[in-house]
Amino acid sequence: MIRKLLTVALPFLTPFVVYLIYWWTVRRRQLMEAQGRKVAPWEDFPWTWVVTAGAVLTAMTLIATTMLTGGDPSEAYHSPRLEDGKIVPGRIGQ
């Protein structure tokens, strides 16, 4: 059950939760400005740059993980298959 939650539900719901937090923050800021109250300095932080930096770092991590781990890149991947009623797992190699 926890596996399904972590591999299906969490990745599906995360963008909605992030958007809800973003929407709530922007709405709160608009209401504060409409009431004439001062907006906190941390709310002027450049979120676009933070998100972009996070995406670039994630991409770099995925690329580095792909390049530095696993088998020899020149070898072929053989997908899982069914032989004599048994599943033979996938492998990298000849």
User: Whole-prediction pTM value?
Assistant: 0.43
Q: What is the mean pLDDT of residues 79-89?
A: 94
* Longest CA span, the chain: 75
For residue 62, the SS3 value is helix
Nearest by Cα to 30 from 22, 21, 39: 39
What would the two tokens of residue 22 be? 């973003």
pLDDT in tens, 36-66: 888 777 666 777 778 888 899 899 988 888 8
Looking at residue 73, the DSSP 8-state letter turns out to be T
More confident residue, 8 or 13: 13
